[in-house]
Amino acid sequence: MAEGSKESRKDQIRVVDEVPTEVVRLDVERVELTKKKGVIPEVLIAPVMESTPQENSSEEDPVKEKLLDPETEWLEFDNKSDDDLVPMGWFVLLGVGLFGVLGWVIFQTNMGDGSALIDVKAANQPVASALDRPRGVGENERQAAEAHFNKMEKVLTGFLSAESLEEMVKWVRHRERVTPLMKSYYARNPIEPLDFKTTKKYHSISLENKPFIALEVRVEEQEEGIPILIEDRPDGMLVDWESYVCYLPMSPEELAESRPTDLKELRVYASRDNFHTYEFSDEKEYDCFRLNFRGSETTLYGFVKKGTSLEREFLKAFPLVTDEYRKAAIIKARFLEGSKAMRSMLIEGLESTMWAFPNNPRGLTESESSQ
């Protein structure tokens, strides 16, 4: 009986009077960034959060690779990821910092065209809440941030609703270089005006010391979000059209059928492979890469000659331990004349490991590149 009483007492819950304490939760990572068009949430008005890239690191962070899986496009996370973070499969970003809409700060980065481009530590930090802001931050800051956000959405509205090339090009960066590409693209594809609805996801990033905004926007005509990159210039915001359409000089199907022997600049998903055949059958002479294209089932194979500076660039961008990882890239490649390898191309250049050029590749002046 005594033992039963003892066991009974063990199972009882003892109520202790305690002085209540206030608990403040600071995890704002899952806050939806925009509830309606034209309104910027308080979470975006926050102090600068800097990040320090790892030194002497030549390999990709496995966490980074998962975060930036290019199969999910630029801005989509899996179901376990935070809704306010914006990954980009065709933007692989190193040295990225999170910062508010107001007062753009260009972060110090150590990335180049062949480097990964996102600071995962910074990306995984919660965006600072109002409690973290310094004293004196008030209504003026909010109004300035609101004004900046509204200007951004005005640019989006104008760009998406354009019914002609002449209307659209007004909102595009690197205008002089890109206009001929737009003419070529829209000669093959119709312009489809879209009605901007709202900004779903917002991420401030720095690409080669230039401030950009990576977005996912909603439009009236479709349920799926649309990834868009905007450069936030001192003289105004401009859309990166090339990454918006994932520009190619011809469709992947036409590329595979016509097999051009002159160099083509291609935006691809690339991953290591071992499809060595015909002219490229020697594994000791060539590295093999599987090439896929957005919105297409076409698969080609690209080969990089070993022992070259280009191979070293690819080793940095595609470490040997990441065979299953697909990365967005802009490459220069061509088919060999008279080749028996019908789906194999010789890669002769790695232009970028993202689908946008932070700087104008033609080397035009800053004023020219904005025209």
Q: From residue 285, give the alpha-carbon distance in Å to each of 70, 147, 169, 275, 308.
A: 28, 57, 44, 13, 10
Mean residue pLDDT across the chain: 72
Q: From residue 134, give the alpha-carbon distance in Å to each of 23, 131, 138.
A: 21, 8, 10
pLDDT in tens, 193-208: 999 999 999 898 888 8
What does DSSP say about strands 286-292 and 196-207: parallel, antiparallel, or unpaired? unpaired
What does DSSP say about strands 344-352 and 299-305: parallel, antiparallel, or unpaired? parallel
Q: What is the pLDDT of residue 348?
A: 98
Rounded-to-integer distance, Cα 88 and Cα 102, Å: 23
Q: What is the pLDDT of residue 19?
A: 52
Which tokens is 302 given?
Answer: 């690209």
Backbone φ and ψ for 118, nearest 5 degrees, come out as -130, 140
Query: Is the pTM value of this prediction over 0.85?
Result: no
Q: What is the pLDDT of residue 36?
A: 43
pLDDT in tens, 97-155: 333 333 322 322 232 332 233 333 333 333 333 434 444 557 888 888 889 999 999 99
Cα torsion 65, 270, 174, 76 to 10°: value is -40
Q: From residue 300, give the alpha-carbon distance in Å to each of 254, 296, 333.
A: 12, 11, 11
CA triplet 34, 39, 45: central angle to 5 degrees?
80
Q: What is the pLDDT of residue 109?
A: 28
Domain-by-domain residue ranges, the chain? Answer: 42-245, 252-352
Residue with token string 């900046």 = 148
Burial class of residue 262 in the structure, from the number of CB atoms within 10 Å of its CB (0-12 exposed, 13-18 middle, 19+ buried): exposed
- CATH number belonging to the domain at 252-352, selected among 2.40.50, 3.40.50, 1.10.760, 1.10.238: 2.40.50
Residues with pLDDT less than 50, the chain = 1-2, 5-10, 23-36, 38-135, 364-371
Rounded-to-integer distance, Cα 92 and Cα 94, Å: 7
Q: What is the pLDDT of residue 247?
A: 96
Rounded-to-integer distance, Cα 271 and Cα 328, Å: 9
Rounded-to-integer distance, Cα 56 and Cα 195, Å: 46
